[in-house]
Amino acid sequence: MFKNFIKVSFVFFVIIIFVVAVFRTIENYAFFAKADTGLLEVDFIDVGQGDASLIRTPDKQEILIDGGESEKILEELSKIISPFDKYIDLLILTHPHSDHVGGLNFILDEYEVGQVLYTGAIHNSPEYISFLEKIKEKEIVLEIVDHPQKIILGDDLFLEIVYPFSKENIDSSNLNNTSIVAKLAYKDTTFLFTGDIEEEIEEAILENYSNLDVDVLKVPHHGSDTSNTVEFLDAVQADYAVISVGANNYFGHPKNIVISRLERGNVETFRTDLQGTISFSSNGENISVVTEK
Ligand SMILES: [Zn+2]
Ligand SMILES: [Zn+2]
């Protein structure tokens, strides 16, 4: 009798393993797989006041830079990626302000995350503490960003850390100025993610990088006039700019002077408060853009 029970249990166990294996194979390779279009896709997600940018590589890796303030990120992500896709390869937190880290707490609850990259900045807000605790609890690899550092994402496709210049001695007295700045390059096309850096850091970056010319700029600090100097915008020479900002926000972002600087530089500018999520795709040579509204 007991022998039979073991036998039955074993058969049952084997069946379960088989079903799981088949299902995983199907999930990965057949029903739910998106075709490899050779396109790099970058969405600047409308999370209200805050920043959240999703990078999807041609071979389907997903990198999320910041997550806005609230659980709105979940609703917005579900419009972009399949509901069966609950894995994000890499999360990057530019800096610990709540309009960047808040939503990542909801991401950590709902998604499996491969790795997290951040600066190690010190801050004791409940959102940031909860973010670090969840990463520890789930045993996710947490790394402090290095410089120089290039994250290879595919053929002729990489994310280069532009700032901070060193992983040591991060000065957390102005968190905006701890923001990770990263350049994404896919063949001839480039994107610059800037977090909330202010003018001192813009200037420091220009001193370190003589050629910062990019195609798409995520405008620093929601279009604040404490960032976005004429010198920085001139050096970046973006064709497209994205201002990630909430409607009627308390800070009065974006500032008119920044909008006119972009206009003067003939930069085609998009705003998440007016146009919703802004979606770019690149085949490595050309960039196209569509807006949600
Ligand atoms: Zn911010
Ligand atoms: Zn900030």
Answer yes or no: is pLDDT of 136 > 50: yes
C-alpha of residue 197 to centroid of ligand 1, in Å:
9
Residue type, 238: A
Name the pLDDT band for 113 (thresholds 50, 70, 90). Answer: very high
The residues, any chain, with a CB within 8 Å of residue 151's CB and separated by 6 or more, are 90, 158, 159, 160, 161
In this prediction the pTM is: 0.88
Ligand nearest to the CA of 221: 1
At 37 the pLDDT is: 77
**Assigned CATH topology for domain 36-291:** Metallo-beta-lactamase; Chain A (3.60.15)
Asked whether the CA dihedral 193, 111, 80, 36 is positive or negative, the reply is positive
CA–centroid distance, 196 to ligand 2, in Å, is 5
pLDDT score at 144: 98
CA of 15 relative to ligand 1 center, distance in Å: 50
Nearest in space to 98 (alpha carbons), one of 135, 63, 68: 68
Q: pLDDT digits over 22-74, tens only?
A: 444 444 444 444 556 799 999 999 999 999 999 999 999 999 999 999 999 99
Closest by CA position to 224, among listed 93, 99, 119: 99
pLDDT band at 154 (very low <50, low <70, confident <90, very high): very high
Q: Which residues have CB atoms below 5 A from the ion given as ligand 2?
A: 97, 176, 196
Query: What are the pLDDT digits (tens) for 13-36?
Result: 555 545 545 444 444 444 444 556
* SS (HEC) of 264-291: HCCCEEEEHHHHCCEEEEECCCCEEEEE
Question: Which pLDDT tens digit goes with each residue over 249-264?
Answer: 999 999 999 999 999 9
Distance of CA 116 from the midpoint of ligand 2 (Å): 19
- The per-residue pLDDT of the chain, averaged, comes to 92
* Cα(195) to centroid(ligand 2), Å: 7
pLDDT confidence of residue 7: 63
Q: What is the DSSP letter of 262?
A: H
Distance from Cα 179 to the centre of ligand 2, integer Å? 8
C-alpha 101 to ligand 2 mean position (Å): 10
Which ligand ends up closest to the CA of 249?
Answer: 1
CA distances from 247 to 102, 113, 233, 240, 283 (A): 18, 30, 24, 20, 32
pLDDT (0 to 100) of residue 29:
44
Say how many Å lie between the CA of residue 198 and the centre of ligand 2: 9
Q: Which residues pair with residue 41 across a beta bridge?
A: 56, 281
